Structure 1
Amino acid sequence: MKVKGTFVYTLKTGENALILLAENKSEQEKLYHYLSIDAYRFKKEIAEEIPHIELISAGYKNEQGKIAWNEEYIPVPKWYDHN
């Protein structure tokens, strides 16, 4: 899995989601699964280094050049949960 880019999306609730972009839909699904099941160290680093990010997800750019992503966001633990 390669991450081809990222962007921050602000939800209507005001929460910020970091969207990691994969190469295609298949890779996006693998990346999302990895983020939801594993990636503890990555989520911990996000919580400590970018505390304004509350959620993460995975997406990809389709053939039309539009970005699509999984809108079932994965919570990022707060940095103080680790101390």
Structure 2
Amino acid sequence: ILTSGLAWHTDENALRQKFEEFGAVEEAVVVKDRDTGRSRGFGFVRYTQEADAEAAITAMNNIEFDGRTIRVDKASERGSGGGGGGFGGGRGG
């Protein structure tokens, strides 16, 4: 699942710990800027069971976590080739 709006200080351990309340977490990743190493404010949580992921999405979306209201949604499967979300637009610079 995709978690966005994370506080800059939220790390992978905090993310994993919170989301383990809903089931066994296979992987928790906070995406970092490759130049600065700082959090980019979003991450991913992968559950071993789909039902646990659904429960986490329902319970955690638009809830305050670590000082910020976060958004939690189903992440698109990697390599699925299906239609993507509306994240188009050019990158500045």
TM, length-normalised to structure 2: 0.34
Structure number with larger C-alpha Rg? 2
Structure holding more helix per residue: 1
